Structures are given as structure tokens and as C-alpha cells.
Chains A and B, each alone.
Chain A
Amino acid sequence: MASSADVIVEMIKSRITFARDALDLSEPLGTLGLDSMEVVSLTFDIEEKFNITIPFNANTDIQNKTIGDLIAMVDELVAAKAQTA
């Protein structure tokens, strides 16, 4: 089974318009060429895929968060969900 990191990176790649072989996990979401609503849509796709709710505000959280931050957050939320389940 693909790791959450692989899944998320593929989801991001499918949304960015320029071709990229690899994404640097330290890259901020704000520099991917996605506008804020595209990041919001990406977040929605991730929530649906992993059945989690990601706390995220489009006004404050896009520029500074990196792809790695996003993956770490998803892993944490998935683990928390597994514990309470």
C-alpha cells in the first residue's frame, strides 16, 4: 500500500499545471503555483481520501505550510482517528 506521503504527492502533482518529476517536501504550498481555492480543493480531496478533518484556514495557512507539514499533519490525524476508533 502506498504511504500517505506518496498518495499526497501524487494528488498535488495532478493539480499543478507544470510537469514535475519530484516534489521537494520542504516546498511551501504557496509556491506550487496553486491558488488558494486549489489548495482548499486539494485539502478536501485529502480529507475525503483519508476520512479525516484537517483544520485549515485559506487566509493564514497556505504560504507557510510545506508539503512535508501537510503530510505530517495527515499522518497525525489518521493516527489520532485510529486511536479513538
Chain B
Amino acid sequence: MNRVVITGLGVVSAVGQSTKDYWDALVAGRSGFAKATLGTAGQATDKLVGEVKDFDAAAHFDKSQLLLLDRVSQFAVVAARQAVKQSGLDLQGELAERTAAIIGTGSGGHNTVDDGFRRLYAENAQRLHPLTIPKAMISAPASQVSLHLGIKGPAFAISSACASSTHAPGVAFHMVRSGSVTCAVTGGTEASITFGAMKGWEAMRIMSSDTCRPFSKDRKGMIIGEGAAVLVLEQLNHAKARGAEILAEVVGFGMSADAKDLTAPDVGGMARAITGALNDAKMTPDEIDYVNAHGTGTMANDLAESGALRSSFGAHADKLAVSSTKSVVGHALGAAGALEFVAAIMAIRDGVAPPTMNYLGPDQGCDLDYVPNEARRMKVRAAISNSFAFGGLNAVLAARAFAG
């Protein structure tokens, strides 16, 4: 089995359109929340959202390319370009064929769907744009990453709602580890702050009326976000041979399904995914210092997740620094897992646990160390990143500092 390392990161987020800007904002606790301004989304909700502001698509793509790219694919390609650039990989010849592009998304080209259907149903349009289907398909971001980066190996989408972009790097990790590919460009993307989707979230009544305060007393729910994050995973020997800078090592991936309820979280299912990631990494609980939690800010998730961490980590749970960066960028749904895995990797690299912002104090059943309101300088030997999706689909990634 190959050891698998990370050699590139890319981010498009509500608080920055590069890994550095994103990470600086997470550490500073600089919120990206504001009223929705995209399209007509603001007419569907008065709740705050985490939009990627001032995303200049024309600066990244020419006009003919933009005709083919929903916002969700634009985010993915921009993040993938950043990650591949940082990695220094030259995706030509055989290496291009030995590289995978695996991109998670919850709802694919949702802006294309929402715009098109509004024209059909509300404005009685006679026809849709001819590229509606290929822009909207859930695999479009994976295809566009492959096309724009010249990746010719296995390429596909993974969709598991809010765990999509933890499942995607997880599967990619196993493929690189097994040797079926040499490298993988993998992560997730989401751009579904639309009139229709926001109406859907309003109907679920789980969006916060003020802000996102995960694990806190008086938490009122989640803030919907968007964005993308992409990582370059690579066989250690390959990275070493070309003298690449190694950012961290991916060591474990666990997944499970609750098989219980479409929306209610399950402590047992979550714990099996966490323990699965530790087992896959051949690590003991006391080797983990930081947890980037799923931490949506809903009553149900945060309570269940705290219980699952206690169940999987035992006494070591009290020594973990646990934070939810959704308190800064919101819940980017199918992009959340990859955005948060990037945060976990930066925590390892910089020796800083980013804070859980807007925290007001402990709540019943939420009694771990949530790094409240202020970043903490600390040694992070290893970290996990949790994603627990609607439908009971759980995925957890583990990474550790690279040590030769």
C-alpha cells in the first residue's frame, strides 16, 4: 500500500478565494454572512447566507467557456487550478492518465436548473438553453475539472448530500493508496443559493434567524453557504521523487450509514464513521488533537455529534480541540467536507485550532472543548474532519503531520 500525501490545496469560499485568505478568515473568526444577493434568492429568504462575494467569473474563464459552466463548475475548476498549481504537478502524458478527478457536490448545477425552470414555468418560455442539461448534471463539475486540467484517469462525481466532499477525497485516498492511480484531484463544490433551494431550506425551518453558533446554548440552526475546495492527493514516493512540498499525510477514511431516518442524526452511525477512520489509519484515539466538526448549529446535529465524539474517543474526548468552521463560512453543503478538511490540514500545518465563533456557553449534552470564539495556538499532530449528511450518510477523514 502507498502512503498518500497532500501536495496542493485550492479554495473558493465566502471568506476568501484562496487557501490563505480562507484560512486567515477562519483563524480570525471573520464571518462571511450577509443577506442573499445572488439572483432572486433574497426574495425567498431574509436569513443570512454565506455567499462567495465578488466572484469574478470573467477573470477566470473566457466567454465561450462560461457558456458551458454553471457557477458550481466555475468554483470547482478555480479551486482545482489553485490546488494543481500549488502541487507543481505537470499533468501531461502518462501522469494525466494516472490521475483521477473525483468531485463531490450535493446538487450540481442548481443555478442552471432554477433559472431554466423559472423561465419555463413562470415566464412561459418556449425553450431552454441547449446546454441546460450538461451544465446542470451533477457530474458536470467533475467533467469540467477533468477538461480544464487535462486529467484523463478515472473521473466521476460523488453525491452524498452534505458528506459529498468528504466521501470524494476519501474514495480518492483509497484509490491512491491502493495504487490504482498515482494522483487525485479531489474535493467538492456547491452553488445552490437560489430562489428554489432557499424556499426548500425555509420549509425545513432549520435555518438560523440570527447567526450560526455551533454547540452553543441558544443556537438557532444553520446558515447556508457555497463554495469549493480541492486537494491534490499523491503517492508519497511520487511526491518525493519530484521534490514536491508535502503539506500533510492523509491516513484514514471511515464511512457508515445510519439506516434509520432521512433527517434525524444518529450517534451510533456517526461514531462508526469516526472509529472507522481511526481504524483505517491504524491510529488510537489519543493520537488525534483536533476535530473539525460537522457542527451545523442545529439542535439535533450538535447534540448527536458531541455524543458520537464521546463514544469514539472515550476519555480522550475531553482533550480534543473541537471546532466548527461553519460558524464562519456557513454550511457549504456538498463543498463543506472538503472546505473543512482543508481547515483541518491548515490546523496541522500552522499549529492553530480555528475557533467556533458566536459561542455563548455550554448547552446540555454539548460539553466538549469547542475552542470558543478565539483561535488557539497548539500542536496538532493529527486531525479528523467529520461530515454527517441527511439520509444518514456519514464520512470522516483523518490526516496527520507529515514526518518523513
Contact = CB atoms under 8 A, between A and B. Distances in A.
B208 A40 contact: no
Interface stretch (A11-19, A53-61, A75-83): A53-61
A44 interface: yes
B240 interface: no
B309 interface: no
Nearest to B209: A57
Interface of B: 203-209, 219-221, 261-264, 298-300
Contacts of B299: 36, 58-60
Interface string A16-39: 000000000000000000011100
Given A36-B300, A37-B263, A59 B204 contact: no
Given A40-B204, A40-B205, A59 B220 contact: yes
B205 A43 contact: yes
Contacts of B261: 35
B203 A59 contact: no
A9 B133 CA distance: 46
Nearest to A35: B264
A-B interface, 8 closest residue pairs, ranked by CB to CB distance from nearest:
A58-B205, A59-B221, A59-B299, A37-B263, A40-B205, A59-B220, A58-B206, A60-B220
A57 B300 CA distance: 13
A43 B261 CA distance: 20
A71 B207 CA distance: 24
Contacts of B209: 57
A37 B390 CA distance: 12
B400 to A, nearest CB: 35
Contacts of B263: 37
A7 B201 CA distance: 27
B204 A58 contact: yes
Nearest to B204: A40
Nearest to A58: B205
Contacts of A58: 204-206, 221, 298-299
Contacts of A44: 203
A37 B203 CA distance: 10
Contacts of A35: 261, 264
A36 B262 CA distance: 12
30 contacts: A35-B261, A35-B264, A36-B264, A36-B299, A37-B204, A37-B262, A37-B263, A40-B204, A40-B205, A44-B203, A56-B205, A57-B205, A57-B207, A57-B208, A57-B220, A57-B221, A58-B204, A58-B205, A58-B206, A58-B298, A58-B299, A59-B206, A59-B208, A59-B219, A59-B220, A59-B221, A59-B298, A59-B299, A60-B221, A60-B299
Nearest to B261: A35
The listed residue with most A CB atoms (<10 A of its CB), out of B204, B207, B262, is B204
